[in-house]
Chains A and B, each alone.
Chain A
């Protein structure tokens, strides 16, 4: 991974230099020369894109990412359980209110 990263950094530096040089030629009105450099920069960027995508894919398939996904799953399981617990609370309160109401009426009658 480190080798691939070094390669990417090197290629990016080259692409940035080509891009900057191309811009300078264009400012001077030398479009043909600028185009040659710009085209090289685009080709390099394409290579970098592929390498970076490979890098990202490796990271997404890594154990660390899988572990993170597991933590999210566990959190969601807890959240679902919490939702159930709250529903229980709401149910209990409703029952309690009904009972209190019934007792209250009973007391009034007595």
Chain B
């Protein structure tokens, strides 16, 4: 008697003995649906842990606004703000603080929890055993990071409005702009962080990456104050594009061409990050 195996009709019989029925494999949803499932998992975890970060998310930028915007601002305004386009220093600095907060949220959430997903609490490794593919794990996490950036930015935009620092109706676009900037950082940084074997490089990214970026990208003083040879470097950083974009939106000095360049730059950076991330996640989780 020959043995017959057939997955199509779901039965296998192999000589004497009862026939064994093999259930057909389930269909795997495509697109971003699985990513959304991963995102929901992050939401459940966040419900438990949000209290531990809410104060630094809200108070941190507020402190910088107070010290730099108002404290330092009183010294700058005394001297004249022609170099800033005639606005008080605090109006000049506030959108930069918004953007810097978005960048810091993006980078720290794209580094430490990603590394931790493999080495500390190992959630990535756990998720890998389910039907989620590495790309889904990656995108689900990015969705969560985008949510956190949106929440932090929304808080700060409200603060800006309350302090009278918003000068134009274009400011409604501040929230999506800062989320876009944050996403543009989170995508490539997460793609990189998942490949790490030790945690020391992450400290270097903060000390030699995000801090100098925060200080020199036209945030506290215009890029025109930088020495000539440094200026192109500043223009090339995504943070400068975000700062310039958000500053234009909140002060109402929007120029369609410049805005298009800024938005385009950030979109391209996000796209490259997404492409790179699905490759690094695949290699790290499946190989």
A binds B: no
